[in-house]
Structure 1
Amino acid sequence: MTVNNGANLSKEYFISYLKLVREAKSFSLEQAQDYMVNHFFKNNYNIYGKDSYCNFLQAIDILK
């Protein structure tokens, strides 16, 4: 997925993305979270801004 660095990514975006990763790779939620941190955020939680990372964490809570 292409991401615009200037935009705040929504909870809904991350819910969809996490569901996609889980389904495509047959991952648990924890595995999908680790995958996203390593590949999407590139181990830099602020790469897409603090609000986007907070929305990512909220999406994880919703999916739990």
Structure 2
Amino acid sequence: MTVNNGGKLSKEYFVSYIQLVMNARTCSVEEACRFVLEQFFKGNKHTFGDYSYGNFLSACKEIACFQR
């Protein structure tokens, strides 16, 4: 997936992306979030800036709450 480095990615974007990963890989929220961090962020939380990383964390928490 190509993403503009200058863009601020929303929580909704990450919720959709994480759910897509969960469905495609048939994995848990934790595994999907770990995968997104490694593959999408290249293991560096600053790749797309603090705003996008914060939204990523919020999305992981939101999805985890729904899974309980």
User: Please, what is the CA RMSD of the aligned residues?
Assistant: 0.6
Q: Using the TM superposition, give the Cα deviation of residue 61 of structure 1 relative to its aligned residue in structure 2, in angstroms.
A: 1.1
The CA deviation string for residues 7-64 of structure 1, in whole angstroms up to 9 with x for no partner, is 1100000000000000000010000011011111011000000000000000011111
- Superposition map of 1:12-31 within 5 A: 12-31=12-31
Quote the Cα distance in structure 2 between the aligned partners of 1:62 and 1:44. Answer: 21
For structure 1, the 5+ residue unaligned runs are none
TM-score (norm 1): 0.96
For structure 2, the 5+ residue unaligned runs are none
Give the percent of matched residue pairs that are identical in Structure 1 and Structure 2. Answer: 48
Extract structure 1 runs of 4+ deviating beyond 6 A: none
